[in-house]
A and B are shown apart, each in its own frame.
Chain A
Amino acid sequence: MTTPPVFDARGLVKRYILGETTVEALRGVDLEVSAGEVLVVAGPSGSGKSTLLHLLGTLDEPDAGSLTLAGTATATMNERARTLFRRSRLGFVFQTFNLLPVLSAEENVELPLWLAGVGARERRERARAVLAEVGLEHRFGHRPDQLSGGERQRVAIARAIVHRPLAVLADEPTGNLDSETATEVMDLLMALNRSRETVVVVSTHDPALIARAPRRVVLRDGRIAADTRGAAA
């Protein structure tokens, strides 16, 4: 028995209607991502990267095409099922970090475990272990506003992986970071993938980061222009 791909997208179409005009953000995207893969979704601004990640993350629904997540077609999932799928199988990292300002670093990381019903003790242990893994063992009790941008994004990454999801979706995670920190964050995401076989999908338009990715999917005007593996040319 072969395990189904984590993401299996066929002919994904997404349109936005703006008054009279219709924007075709995605015009038929086919994409298959197997367990343990890391890929970068590249492309200029407006090419549809965010839209694709939103669809892959069940945050939005396609207008046409199909998406199968670890063997389950999203078309058969209702709101509740999508919520539960995100809760248990997916992790998200955002450009603007999106940590809860009233919670400490540790509490932010505990959030997915709390949603999963994990007990307080285990939550704390696992959150601290993951925070240590991303190099923040000295920042457990800090609130987001007491952390630097790079540290916040590390907390967000810890939050995205603490519940051992199938995949982490990171939409321009380095967009608000300087290039040195961006490289560190990218390396961190890839290291996490190596240690736990989690699929990592990162969107970016930073050429330096694209070059480091084992697989590169380039979007242009809502279509996949290239899908290459191995070291960048």
Chain B
Amino acid sequence: MKLALLALRNLARNRRRTAISLAVVATGTAALLLTAGFVAFSFEGLSEAMIHGGLGHLEIARQSATEGRTATLERSVADGLDDWQALQQQVEALPGVLAAAPTLHVAGMASTAAGRSAAFLGVAGDPVRERRMGFTVKVRQGVEMADAPPREGEDQVLLTQGLAQTLGVGPGDRMTLLAVDPDGMLNALDVTVAGLITTGVQELDTRYLRLHLHSAQRLLGTASASNLLVTLDRTSRTDEALHRLRGVLAGHQPPLAVVPWTERAPFYRQVRALYRGIFWFLGSIVFALVVLATSNTLAMAVMERVRELGTLRALGTSIGQVAGLVGLEALWLGLIGGVLGDLLGAALIVALNWLNISMAPPPGAVDPIELRVLFVPEAFVGTILLMLAVLALAAVGPVLRVARLRIVEALAHT
């Protein structure tokens, strides 16, 4: 017979009270798991939306183009990659790389025959490559841009809805793009609006447009690209790929920079801090509630058993042993409650995901999203450890009480 087993048997004495304590611990555990799963889902969803909305996992650009720049959609073409095709081949041969797509950034003025005009921020790319990379550009109205490089006079654009509204154009309408080329000359390109899109980011939706790489090169009179966007088969391999790429490209002239998406995503750090804050806030509340609820029942369990504990002391059980007995009861509650909570949490996660609940769009986003709660393996282990800590804290009072028990008084206790 071990102290731990004796503690376990003591828990079975007042089944109702033990059941209530276990329910409290399990509910707290499950609540944390749901929170962790939802936070992970939100964060991952946001991350994937950014990555597949056009950030890619990694960006390769000239060192000089990235230094001190945070506006990652405005890499100047003067600082572009002349040998992007060779780089593309080299990078796409690496393991884990889905594709490397060139983009060309062009900022300028769009104007219509009706005399309306607006500043635009254009990102040009290769639609075939981008499809392979999993970039999703949802066309709200009209059609997608043609895959094949457009012939002269057949250039197309996809406009964000806000920009289309400012310009008063829609699918099928024609307009003119004006931009300054690397030599400082003002060039113009006539384009047709193929369709309307959204970036998912409200601020960007008033001036963003997309066009084919060839159209942008024609507009700017260049064969370069601003950068290469690299996507990987898995987001979790970003760091690994980052280091490999930096190694592979180390000797390149002019020097290149490899930038992970986390450095380019707008508000990445803030959003992560926000989600962490939410999680820790809820975690603290659960922690406090479970400590309050269980310390009370632990104290009751000790109070009811004062004479028994006094008897144990009289028989030569040490202070450490009787205190350990009470402490172990608490730890059992934490362990069993935590495991039950994990099971409950898993069941709730499955159930919630099965319900397909749709939610309001997250901050900055446009579309409503489907509620999903992820399984976060670390959280399943972490909550059990947390509950052990919670119960250890809740047991401090009762354990001290037991340690200070005066034997004669305890024996006289009724």
Contacts and interface: CB of A to CB of B under 8 A. Distances in A.
Asked if chains A and B come from one complex, the reply is yes
A60 B313 contact: no
Contacts of A80: 318
Contacts of B1: 103, 107, 110, 114, 120
B10 interface: yes
Given A54-B408, A60-B408, A98-B308, A115 B317 contact: yes
Contacts of A87: 315-317
Contact of B316 (A60, A101, A102, A115): A115
A112 interface: yes
B259 to A, nearest CB: 64
B13 A101 contact: yes
Interface string A127-170: 00000000000000000000000000000000100000000000
A60 B407 contact: yes
Interface string A96-124: 10101111000100111011000010000
B314 A57 contact: yes
Given A59-B408, A60-B407, A110-B1, A92 B314 contact: yes
Interface string B305-325: 001100111111111010000
B314 A102 contact: no
A85 B313 CA distance: 12
A212 interface: no
A101 B312 CA distance: 12
B9 interface: yes
A86 B316 contact: yes
B411 interface: yes
B6 interface: yes
Interface string B185-208: 000000000000000000000000
Interface string B345-389: 000000000000000000000000000000000000000000000
B292 interface: no
B411 A94 contact: yes
A109 to B, nearest CB: 11
B12 interface: yes
A92 to B, nearest CB: 5
Nearest to A57: B314
A79 interface: yes
Nearest to B317: A115
Interface residues of B, number: 21
Contact of A59 (B9, B312, B407): B407
Nearest to A171: B411
Given A59-B408, A114-B1, A98 B307 contact: yes
A120 B312 CA distance: 19
A98 B1 CA distance: 19
B9 A86 contact: no
Contacts of B408: 54, 59-60
Contacts of A54: 408
A96 B413 CA distance: 11
Contacts of A96: 307
B13 A92 contact: no
B9 A102 contact: yes
A79 B319 contact: yes
A128 to B, nearest CB: 15
A225 interface: no
A102 B411 CA distance: 18
A90 B318 CA distance: 15
B266 to A, nearest CB: 61
Interface in A47-101: 54, 57, 59-60, 79-80, 83-88, 90, 92, 94, 96, 98, 100-101
B317 A100 contact: no
A80 B315 CA distance: 13
Contacts of A101: 13, 308
Contacts of B10: 102
Given A98-B307, A102-B6, A102-B12, A111 B407 contact: no
Interface in B274-315: 307-308, 311-315
A112 B9 CA distance: 18
Interface string B328-347: 00000000000000000000
Nearest to B314: A92
A87 B12 CA distance: 27
Contacts of B312: 100
Contacts of A84: 316
Nearest to A88: B316
Chain A CB within 10 Å — which of B9, B307, B313, B316 has the most?
Answer: B316
Contacts of B13: 101-102
A85 B1 CA distance: 22
A60 B13 CA distance: 30
Nearest to B308: A100
Interface string B1-27: 100001001101100000000000000
Q: Which 10 pairs between the two chains have the least Cβ-Cβ distance?
A: A87-B316, A102-B9, A98-B311, A86-B316, A59-B407, A60-B408, A92-B314, A54-B408, A83-B318, A115-B316
Interface of B: 1, 6, 9-10, 12-13, 307-308, 311-319, 321, 407-408, 411
10 contacts: A54-B408, A57-B314, A84-B316, A86-B315, A92-B314, A100-B311, A111-B315, A112-B315, A112-B316, A115-B317
Given A86-B315, A112-B315, A115-B315, 10 more contacts: A57-B314, A59-B407, A60-B407, A85-B316, A96-B307, A98-B307, A100-B311, A101-B13, A110-B1, A114-B1
